[in-house]
Amino acid sequence: MQSKLLIYISGAFCILPVGTSLAGELHGDAGVTSDYVWRGLSQTSGGPAVSGGLEYVTERDWYMGTWISNTTHGANGVNSTEVDYYVGASGKGNNIGYDIGFINYTYPQSSNLDFSELYVAFMTEGLTVKWSDSSAAGTYIEGSLTHKLEFRKNTSITAHAGNYSRKDSTSYVDTSISLRIEDFTITFSKASVNTAQDKDLKTYISWSFSF
Protein backbone atom coordinates (compact mmCIF):
# COMPACT_ATOMS: atom_id res chain seq x y z
CA MET A 1 0.00 0.00 0.00
CA GLN A 2 2.82 2.42 0.78
CA SER A 3 4.48 2.10 -2.63
CA LYS A 4 1.16 2.59 -4.46
CA LEU A 5 0.51 5.72 -2.41
CA LEU A 6 3.88 7.22 -3.33
CA ILE A 7 3.30 6.53 -7.04
CA TYR A 8 -0.15 8.05 -6.82
CA ILE A 9 1.04 11.20 -5.05
CA SER A 10 3.83 11.66 -7.60
CA GLY A 11 1.32 11.46 -10.44
CA ALA A 12 -1.18 13.74 -8.72
CA PHE A 13 1.44 16.46 -8.26
CA CYS A 14 1.73 16.69 -12.03
CA ILE A 15 -1.89 17.84 -12.45
CA LEU A 16 -1.74 20.69 -9.92
CA PRO A 17 -1.89 24.20 -11.43
CA VAL A 18 1.40 26.05 -11.94
CA GLY A 19 2.21 28.12 -8.86
CA THR A 20 0.27 25.89 -6.42
CA SER A 21 2.17 25.44 -3.17
CA LEU A 22 2.88 21.80 -2.36
CA ALA A 23 3.84 22.46 1.26
CA GLY A 24 1.20 20.82 3.40
CA GLU A 25 0.46 18.01 5.81
CA LEU A 26 0.15 14.25 5.69
CA HIS A 27 -2.79 12.79 7.63
CA GLY A 28 -3.77 9.22 8.39
CA ASP A 29 -6.76 7.32 9.71
CA ALA A 30 -7.55 3.78 10.77
CA GLY A 31 -10.68 2.04 11.92
CA VAL A 32 -12.69 -1.12 12.45
CA THR A 33 -16.38 -1.76 11.87
CA SER A 34 -18.74 -4.65 12.55
CA ASP A 35 -20.01 -4.33 8.93
CA TYR A 36 -18.53 -2.36 6.02
CA VAL A 37 -21.65 -0.72 4.56
CA TRP A 38 -21.27 1.51 1.48
CA ARG A 39 -24.28 3.27 0.01
CA GLY A 40 -26.55 1.07 2.05
CA LEU A 41 -25.08 -2.26 0.91
CA SER A 42 -22.71 -4.49 2.85
CA GLN A 43 -19.27 -4.93 1.27
CA THR A 44 -18.31 -7.71 3.68
CA SER A 45 -21.42 -9.94 3.63
CA GLY A 46 -22.35 -8.64 7.07
CA GLY A 47 -18.92 -9.31 8.53
CA PRO A 48 -16.32 -6.97 10.10
CA ALA A 49 -13.76 -4.85 8.28
CA VAL A 50 -10.47 -3.16 9.10
CA SER A 51 -9.52 -0.07 7.12
CA GLY A 52 -6.93 2.69 6.93
CA GLY A 53 -5.80 5.54 4.75
CA LEU A 54 -3.30 8.30 4.14
CA GLU A 55 -4.03 11.75 2.74
CA TYR A 56 -1.78 14.66 1.77
CA VAL A 57 -3.28 18.18 1.88
CA THR A 58 -1.47 21.16 0.36
CA GLU A 59 -1.61 24.75 1.61
CA ARG A 60 -3.95 25.58 -1.28
CA ASP A 61 -6.45 22.89 -0.14
CA TRP A 62 -5.64 20.40 -2.87
CA TYR A 63 -5.58 16.87 -1.50
CA MET A 64 -4.69 13.36 -2.62
CA GLY A 65 -4.74 10.04 -0.85
CA THR A 66 -5.46 6.36 -0.69
CA TRP A 67 -7.70 4.14 1.44
CA ILE A 68 -7.75 0.37 1.91
CA SER A 69 -10.20 -2.13 3.43
CA ASN A 70 -11.07 -5.79 3.33
CA THR A 71 -14.21 -6.88 1.44
CA THR A 72 -15.82 -10.12 0.25
CA HIS A 73 -15.68 -9.18 -3.44
CA GLY A 74 -13.27 -11.96 -4.30
CA ALA A 75 -14.24 -14.96 -6.42
CA ASN A 76 -17.17 -16.87 -4.85
CA GLY A 77 -17.47 -14.24 -2.12
CA VAL A 78 -14.09 -14.90 -0.49
CA ASN A 79 -12.15 -12.19 1.34
CA SER A 80 -10.47 -9.64 -0.90
CA THR A 81 -9.06 -6.12 -0.81
CA GLU A 82 -10.42 -2.74 -1.86
CA VAL A 83 -7.87 0.01 -2.54
CA ASP A 84 -9.11 3.50 -3.42
CA TYR A 85 -7.08 6.39 -4.84
CA TYR A 86 -8.37 9.93 -4.99
CA VAL A 87 -7.43 13.54 -5.71
CA GLY A 88 -9.45 16.72 -5.28
CA ALA A 89 -9.81 20.25 -4.01
CA SER A 90 -11.92 21.80 -1.28
CA GLY A 91 -12.58 25.25 0.11
CA LYS A 92 -15.16 27.49 1.72
CA GLY A 93 -16.53 31.00 1.63
CA ASN A 94 -19.66 32.84 2.82
CA ASN A 95 -20.66 29.89 5.05
CA ILE A 96 -20.67 27.49 2.08
CA GLY A 97 -18.00 24.88 1.51
CA TYR A 98 -17.24 22.78 -1.57
CA ASP A 99 -15.39 19.59 -2.41
CA ILE A 100 -14.68 18.39 -5.94
CA GLY A 101 -12.55 15.47 -7.01
CA PHE A 102 -11.91 12.14 -8.69
CA ILE A 103 -11.76 8.69 -7.06
CA ASN A 104 -10.69 5.32 -8.43
CA TYR A 105 -12.08 2.22 -6.70
CA THR A 106 -9.89 -0.84 -7.30
CA TYR A 107 -10.23 -4.49 -6.27
CA PRO A 108 -6.88 -6.24 -6.87
CA GLN A 109 -8.38 -9.75 -6.60
CA SER A 110 -11.36 -8.85 -8.84
CA SER A 111 -10.18 -6.19 -11.28
CA ASN A 112 -13.38 -6.50 -13.33
CA LEU A 113 -15.11 -4.58 -10.52
CA ASP A 114 -12.80 -1.53 -10.79
CA PHE A 115 -14.45 1.79 -11.59
CA SER A 116 -13.89 5.55 -11.23
CA GLU A 117 -16.10 8.47 -10.22
CA LEU A 118 -16.17 12.23 -10.38
CA TYR A 119 -17.78 13.90 -7.36
CA VAL A 120 -18.95 17.36 -6.31
CA ALA A 121 -20.21 18.28 -2.85
CA PHE A 122 -21.49 21.42 -1.16
CA MET A 123 -21.71 21.93 2.60
CA THR A 124 -23.41 24.51 4.81
CA GLU A 125 -24.54 24.57 8.45
CA GLY A 126 -24.24 20.81 8.93
CA LEU A 127 -25.94 20.02 5.61
CA THR A 128 -24.00 18.21 2.86
CA VAL A 129 -25.26 17.51 -0.66
CA LYS A 130 -23.08 15.37 -2.93
CA TRP A 131 -23.24 14.16 -6.54
CA SER A 132 -21.04 11.26 -7.71
CA ASP A 133 -21.02 10.01 -11.29
CA SER A 134 -19.38 7.07 -13.04
CA SER A 135 -19.84 6.23 -16.72
CA ALA A 136 -19.43 2.57 -15.77
CA ALA A 137 -21.33 2.29 -12.47
CA GLY A 138 -24.00 5.02 -12.41
CA THR A 139 -24.94 8.17 -10.52
CA TYR A 140 -25.33 8.54 -6.76
CA ILE A 141 -27.00 11.62 -5.27
CA GLU A 142 -26.97 11.96 -1.50
CA GLY A 143 -27.67 14.37 1.30
CA SER A 144 -26.85 14.32 4.99
CA LEU A 145 -27.62 16.55 7.95
CA THR A 146 -25.46 16.53 11.08
CA HIS A 147 -26.49 18.04 14.40
CA LYS A 148 -24.12 18.42 17.34
CA LEU A 149 -25.63 17.37 20.67
CA GLU A 150 -24.90 19.96 23.31
CA PHE A 151 -25.23 17.72 26.37
CA ARG A 152 -21.99 15.86 25.56
CA LYS A 153 -18.72 16.95 23.98
CA ASN A 154 -17.81 15.45 20.57
CA THR A 155 -21.27 13.93 20.14
CA SER A 156 -23.44 14.30 17.06
CA ILE A 157 -26.29 12.66 15.16
CA THR A 158 -26.43 12.40 11.36
CA ALA A 159 -29.35 11.59 9.08
CA HIS A 160 -28.53 10.48 5.53
CA ALA A 161 -30.41 9.61 2.34
CA GLY A 162 -29.12 8.62 -1.08
CA ASN A 163 -30.37 7.52 -4.48
CA TYR A 164 -28.18 5.23 -6.60
CA SER A 165 -29.12 5.06 -10.29
CA ARG A 166 -26.99 2.10 -11.35
CA LYS A 167 -26.05 1.36 -14.97
CA ASP A 168 -26.30 -2.43 -15.07
CA SER A 169 -28.35 -3.23 -11.97
CA THR A 170 -31.49 -2.23 -10.10
CA SER A 171 -31.48 1.33 -8.79
CA TYR A 172 -32.35 1.89 -5.15
CA VAL A 173 -32.64 4.37 -2.27
CA ASP A 174 -30.77 4.06 1.02
CA THR A 175 -31.30 5.86 4.32
CA SER A 176 -29.43 5.82 7.61
CA ILE A 177 -29.11 7.52 10.96
CA SER A 178 -25.86 7.54 12.95
CA LEU A 179 -24.94 8.52 16.49
CA ARG A 180 -21.28 9.44 16.98
CA ILE A 181 -19.71 9.68 20.45
CA GLU A 182 -16.01 10.52 20.42
CA ASP A 183 -14.42 7.91 18.11
CA PHE A 184 -17.35 5.48 18.18
CA THR A 185 -20.36 5.47 15.84
CA ILE A 186 -23.49 3.34 15.82
CA THR A 187 -25.44 3.34 12.57
CA PHE A 188 -28.87 2.09 11.52
CA SER A 189 -29.10 1.67 7.73
CA LYS A 190 -31.78 0.49 5.28
CA ALA A 191 -31.72 0.07 1.49
CA SER A 192 -34.67 -0.48 -0.84
CA VAL A 193 -33.32 -3.70 -2.36
CA ASN A 194 -34.67 -7.26 -2.26
CA THR A 195 -31.45 -9.26 -1.97
CA ALA A 196 -31.23 -11.56 1.03
CA GLN A 197 -28.05 -9.85 2.25
CA ASP A 198 -29.23 -6.24 2.12
CA LYS A 199 -33.04 -6.06 2.35
CA ASP A 200 -33.15 -5.93 6.16
CA LEU A 201 -32.28 -3.09 8.52
CA LYS A 202 -28.57 -3.07 9.32
CA THR A 203 -27.08 -2.05 12.66
CA TYR A 204 -23.34 -1.74 12.92
CA ILE A 205 -20.74 -0.17 15.20
CA SER A 206 -17.55 1.55 14.03
CA TRP A 207 -14.46 2.90 15.72
CA SER A 208 -11.93 5.15 14.01
CA PHE A 209 -9.10 7.53 14.83
CA SER A 210 -6.95 10.00 12.95
CA PHE A 211 -3.22 10.64 13.23
Overall residue count recorded for the chain in this entry: 211
In terms of DSSP bridges, do strands 127-134 and 115-124 run parallel, antiparallel, or are they unpaired?
A: antiparallel
**pTM of the full predicted structure?**
0.86
Indicate if the pLDDT at residue 37 is higher than 50: yes
Residue range(s) defining the domain that contains residue 139? 2-210
pLDDT of residue 23: 65
pLDDT of residue 94: 86
Mean pLDDT (the chain, rounded): 89
Q: What is the total count of domains within the chain?
A: 1
pLDDT of residue 125: 92
Average pLDDT over residues 145-168: 94
- Residue 109: CATH number of its domain: 2.40.160.40
pLDDT of residue 50: 98
Indicate if the pLDDT at residue 60 is higher than 80: yes
Burial (CB count within 10 angstroms: exposed 0-12, middle 13-18, buried 19+), residue 201? exposed
Q: How many CB atoms lie within 10 A of CB 86?
A: 21
Residue 21: pLDDT band (50, 70, 90) is: very low
Better-predicted residue by pLDDT, 42 or 15: 42
